[in-house]
Amino acid sequence: EPRQAINQLHEMGLVLFGWLNWASGLEGSYLSSDVFRKIAARFWGSELAADFSTHEGKALAAARIQDREYAKESLILCDFAWPVTHILSGDHVGDPSVESKILSAITGEEVNEEGLYRIGERVFNLQRAIHVREGHKGRESDQIPEAFFTTPLKGHAMNPNAEAPGKDGEITSRIGMMVDRVEFERMKDEYYQLRGWDAATGLQTRTKLEELGLQEIAQDLEQRGLVI
Protein backbone atom coordinates (compact mmCIF):
# COMPACT_ATOMS: atom_id res chain seq x y z
CA GLU A 1 0.00 0.00 0.00
CA PRO A 2 1.85 3.14 -1.20
CA ARG A 3 -0.46 5.49 0.68
CA GLN A 4 -0.36 5.91 4.44
CA ALA A 5 -2.48 2.98 5.58
CA ILE A 6 -3.95 4.91 8.50
CA ASN A 7 -7.25 3.00 8.55
CA GLN A 8 -5.39 -0.29 8.93
CA LEU A 9 -3.29 1.22 11.71
CA HIS A 10 -6.41 2.50 13.46
CA GLU A 11 -7.99 -0.93 13.85
CA MET A 12 -5.32 -2.09 16.28
CA GLY A 13 -4.08 1.35 17.34
CA LEU A 14 -7.41 2.49 18.74
CA VAL A 15 -7.60 -0.68 20.81
CA LEU A 16 -4.07 -0.02 22.06
CA PHE A 17 -4.99 3.46 23.23
CA GLY A 18 -7.96 2.05 25.13
CA TRP A 19 -5.54 -0.39 26.75
CA LEU A 20 -3.16 2.47 27.63
CA ASN A 21 -5.98 4.13 29.56
CA TRP A 22 -6.43 0.93 31.55
CA ALA A 23 -2.67 0.44 32.04
CA SER A 24 -2.33 3.97 33.42
CA GLY A 25 -5.13 3.33 35.91
CA LEU A 26 -7.62 5.75 34.39
CA GLU A 27 -10.91 5.48 36.26
CA GLY A 28 -13.61 3.67 34.30
CA SER A 29 -11.19 2.04 31.87
CA TYR A 30 -12.14 -1.53 31.01
CA LEU A 31 -9.87 -2.50 28.11
CA SER A 32 -7.52 -4.69 30.15
CA SER A 33 -4.83 -7.00 28.83
CA ASP A 34 -7.31 -9.86 29.09
CA VAL A 35 -9.87 -7.98 27.01
CA PHE A 36 -7.15 -7.03 24.52
CA ARG A 37 -6.23 -10.71 24.05
CA LYS A 38 -9.88 -11.68 23.54
CA ILE A 39 -10.28 -8.93 20.93
CA ALA A 40 -7.12 -10.17 19.20
CA ALA A 41 -8.47 -13.73 19.06
CA ARG A 42 -11.86 -12.62 17.73
CA PHE A 43 -10.74 -9.96 15.26
CA TRP A 44 -7.14 -10.75 14.30
CA GLY A 45 -6.94 -14.53 14.34
CA SER A 46 -5.10 -15.30 17.59
CA GLU A 47 -4.23 -13.93 21.02
CA LEU A 48 -0.63 -13.63 19.79
CA ALA A 49 -1.67 -10.53 17.88
CA ALA A 50 -1.99 -8.80 21.26
CA ASP A 51 1.53 -9.73 22.36
CA PHE A 52 3.86 -6.96 21.19
CA SER A 53 6.95 -8.83 22.39
CA THR A 54 6.81 -11.41 19.60
CA HIS A 55 6.50 -11.46 15.82
CA GLU A 56 4.20 -14.48 16.03
CA GLY A 57 0.62 -13.93 14.93
CA LYS A 58 1.34 -10.64 13.19
CA ALA A 59 1.24 -11.88 9.59
CA LEU A 60 -2.23 -13.33 10.14
CA ALA A 61 -3.34 -10.17 11.93
CA ALA A 62 -2.12 -8.05 9.00
CA ALA A 63 -4.08 -10.10 6.45
CA ARG A 64 -7.24 -10.08 8.60
CA ILE A 65 -7.07 -6.35 9.18
CA GLN A 66 -6.40 -5.57 5.52
CA ASP A 67 -9.33 -7.67 4.27
CA ARG A 68 -11.73 -6.20 6.83
CA GLU A 69 -10.58 -2.62 6.24
CA TYR A 70 -10.90 -2.86 2.47
CA ALA A 71 -14.41 -4.23 2.86
CA LYS A 72 -15.19 -1.49 5.38
CA GLU A 73 -13.93 1.22 3.06
CA SER A 74 -16.08 -0.22 0.27
CA LEU A 75 -19.09 0.12 2.56
CA ILE A 76 -18.07 3.74 3.32
CA LEU A 77 -18.17 3.15 7.08
CA CYS A 78 -16.57 5.61 9.48
CA ASP A 79 -12.95 4.74 10.17
CA PHE A 80 -13.14 5.68 13.86
CA ALA A 81 -16.37 3.87 14.61
CA TRP A 82 -15.74 0.63 12.71
CA PRO A 83 -15.03 -2.14 13.33
CA VAL A 84 -16.71 -2.31 16.73
CA THR A 85 -13.78 -3.96 18.51
CA HIS A 86 -14.88 -3.25 22.08
CA ILE A 87 -18.04 -2.30 23.96
CA LEU A 88 -18.95 -1.12 27.46
CA SER A 89 -21.07 -4.11 28.45
CA GLY A 90 -20.54 -7.85 28.94
CA ASP A 91 -17.04 -9.14 28.28
CA HIS A 92 -16.28 -5.87 26.43
CA VAL A 93 -15.41 -7.69 23.18
CA GLY A 94 -17.10 -6.27 20.10
CA ASP A 95 -18.70 -8.06 17.19
CA PRO A 96 -16.84 -8.22 13.84
CA SER A 97 -19.93 -9.58 12.08
CA VAL A 98 -21.94 -6.34 12.33
CA GLU A 99 -20.71 -5.01 8.98
CA SER A 100 -21.79 -8.15 7.14
CA LYS A 101 -25.21 -7.95 8.79
CA ILE A 102 -25.59 -4.35 7.63
CA LEU A 103 -24.62 -5.31 4.08
CA SER A 104 -27.10 -8.19 4.10
CA ALA A 105 -29.90 -5.97 5.40
CA ILE A 106 -29.29 -3.28 2.79
CA THR A 107 -28.84 -5.50 -0.26
CA GLY A 108 -31.18 -8.36 0.62
CA GLU A 109 -28.37 -10.78 -0.19
CA GLU A 110 -27.11 -12.88 2.70
CA VAL A 111 -23.43 -12.22 3.41
CA ASN A 112 -21.81 -13.67 6.53
CA GLU A 113 -18.67 -12.45 8.26
CA GLU A 114 -16.30 -14.64 6.22
CA GLY A 115 -18.12 -13.62 3.06
CA LEU A 116 -17.42 -9.96 3.81
CA TYR A 117 -13.75 -10.72 4.38
CA ARG A 118 -13.74 -12.50 1.02
CA ILE A 119 -14.97 -9.29 -0.60
CA GLY A 120 -12.17 -7.39 1.11
CA GLU A 121 -9.62 -9.98 0.00
CA ARG A 122 -10.83 -9.62 -3.58
CA VAL A 123 -10.51 -5.82 -3.47
CA PHE A 124 -7.08 -6.08 -1.85
CA ASN A 125 -5.85 -8.48 -4.54
CA LEU A 126 -7.24 -6.27 -7.29
CA GLN A 127 -5.31 -3.31 -5.90
CA ARG A 128 -2.18 -5.45 -5.54
CA ALA A 129 -2.47 -6.46 -9.18
CA ILE A 130 -2.77 -2.82 -10.26
CA HIS A 131 0.29 -1.88 -8.21
CA VAL A 132 2.32 -4.70 -9.76
CA ARG A 133 1.20 -3.71 -13.23
CA GLU A 134 2.32 -0.14 -12.52
CA GLY A 135 5.79 -1.12 -11.30
CA HIS A 136 5.57 -2.64 -7.82
CA LYS A 137 8.14 -5.45 -7.68
CA GLY A 138 6.42 -7.77 -5.23
CA ARG A 139 8.67 -8.95 -2.43
CA GLU A 140 11.44 -6.57 -3.42
CA SER A 141 9.10 -3.59 -3.00
CA ASP A 142 7.44 -4.83 0.19
CA GLN A 143 9.71 -2.91 2.51
CA ILE A 144 9.52 -0.62 5.51
CA PRO A 145 11.73 2.44 6.12
CA GLU A 146 15.37 1.61 6.81
CA ALA A 147 15.17 3.56 10.06
CA PHE A 148 12.85 0.93 11.50
CA PHE A 149 15.77 -1.53 11.39
CA THR A 150 18.49 0.82 12.59
CA THR A 151 17.01 3.51 14.86
CA PRO A 152 15.92 2.55 18.39
CA LEU A 153 12.29 3.38 19.09
CA LYS A 154 11.58 6.51 21.10
CA GLY A 155 8.44 7.51 22.91
CA HIS A 156 5.58 9.39 21.29
CA ALA A 157 3.53 12.30 22.59
CA MET A 158 0.51 10.01 22.89
CA ASN A 159 2.52 7.12 24.37
CA PRO A 160 5.76 8.57 25.82
CA ASN A 161 6.93 5.24 27.29
CA ALA A 162 6.01 3.26 24.16
CA GLU A 163 4.00 0.88 26.34
CA ALA A 164 2.23 -2.14 24.91
CA PRO A 165 1.02 -5.50 26.21
CA GLY A 166 3.65 -8.23 26.16
CA LYS A 167 3.55 -11.93 26.99
CA ASP A 168 0.51 -12.85 29.09
CA GLY A 169 -0.60 -9.22 28.94
CA GLU A 170 2.34 -7.86 30.93
CA ILE A 171 2.76 -4.08 30.62
CA THR A 172 6.01 -3.60 28.69
CA SER A 173 7.92 -0.72 27.12
CA ARG A 174 9.17 -0.92 23.55
CA ILE A 175 11.63 1.94 24.06
CA GLY A 176 14.93 1.15 22.32
CA MET A 177 13.47 -1.66 20.20
CA MET A 178 14.16 -2.08 16.48
CA VAL A 179 12.66 -4.35 13.82
CA ASP A 180 14.68 -7.51 13.27
CA ARG A 181 15.46 -7.96 9.54
CA VAL A 182 15.44 -11.74 9.67
CA GLU A 183 12.12 -11.84 11.48
CA PHE A 184 10.67 -9.27 9.09
CA GLU A 185 11.56 -11.43 6.09
CA ARG A 186 10.19 -14.50 7.86
CA MET A 187 6.91 -12.69 8.48
CA LYS A 188 6.77 -11.85 4.78
CA ASP A 189 7.13 -15.56 3.98
CA GLU A 190 4.25 -16.36 6.31
CA TYR A 191 2.15 -13.49 4.98
CA TYR A 192 2.58 -14.51 1.34
CA GLN A 193 1.64 -18.06 2.24
CA LEU A 194 -1.52 -16.86 3.98
CA ARG A 195 -2.35 -14.76 0.93
CA GLY A 196 -1.80 -17.65 -1.48
CA TRP A 197 0.94 -15.73 -3.26
CA ASP A 198 4.40 -16.87 -4.35
CA ALA A 199 6.76 -16.57 -1.37
CA ALA A 200 9.95 -16.21 -3.40
CA THR A 201 8.75 -13.23 -5.45
CA GLY A 202 5.75 -11.88 -3.53
CA LEU A 203 3.80 -11.99 -6.78
CA GLN A 204 0.24 -13.24 -6.92
CA THR A 205 -0.55 -16.65 -8.32
CA ARG A 206 -2.95 -17.29 -11.16
CA THR A 207 -4.66 -19.88 -8.95
CA LYS A 208 -5.44 -17.35 -6.21
CA LEU A 209 -6.67 -14.68 -8.63
CA GLU A 210 -8.97 -17.14 -10.38
CA GLU A 211 -10.21 -18.40 -7.02
CA LEU A 212 -11.27 -14.81 -6.28
CA GLY A 213 -13.05 -14.46 -9.62
CA LEU A 214 -10.33 -12.25 -11.10
CA GLN A 215 -9.69 -14.31 -14.22
CA GLU A 216 -9.28 -11.31 -16.52
CA ILE A 217 -6.77 -9.75 -14.14
CA ALA A 218 -4.82 -13.02 -13.99
CA GLN A 219 -4.75 -13.21 -17.79
CA ASP A 220 -3.50 -9.64 -18.12
CA LEU A 221 -0.74 -10.15 -15.55
CA GLU A 222 0.26 -13.43 -17.16
CA GLN A 223 0.74 -11.69 -20.50
CA ARG A 224 3.03 -9.22 -18.74
CA GLY A 225 4.96 -11.95 -16.89
CA LEU A 226 3.74 -10.63 -13.56
CA VAL A 227 1.90 -13.63 -12.14
CA ILE A 228 3.13 -17.04 -11.03
pLDDT the model gives residue 187? 98
Percent of the chain at pLDDT > 90 equals 93
110 pLDDT more than 70 = yes
User: What average pLDDT score do residues 117-142 get?
Assistant: 97
User: What average pLDDT score do residues 127-155 get?
Assistant: 96
117 in a structural domain: yes
44-79 pLDDT, tens per residue? Answer: 999 999 999 999 999 999 999 999 999 999 999 999
Domain holding 141, by residue range, is: 6-223
pLDDT the model gives residue 132? 97
pLDDT the model gives residue 177? 96
3 pLDDT more than 70 = no
105 pLDDT more than 80 = yes
38 in a structural domain: yes
4 pLDDT more than 80 = no
94 in a structural domain: yes
Confidence of residue 2 (pLDDT cuts 50, 70, 90): low
The reported pTM is 0.93
**Residues with Cβ within 8 Å of residue 175, at least 6 apart in sequence:** 152, 153, 154, 155, 161, 162
123 in a structural domain: yes
User: What average pLDDT score do residues 198-208 get?
Assistant: 98
43 in a structural domain: yes
84 in a structural domain: yes
208 in a structural domain: yes
Q: What's the domain count of the chain?
A: 1
CATH of the domain at 214: 1.10.599.10
1 in a structural domain: no
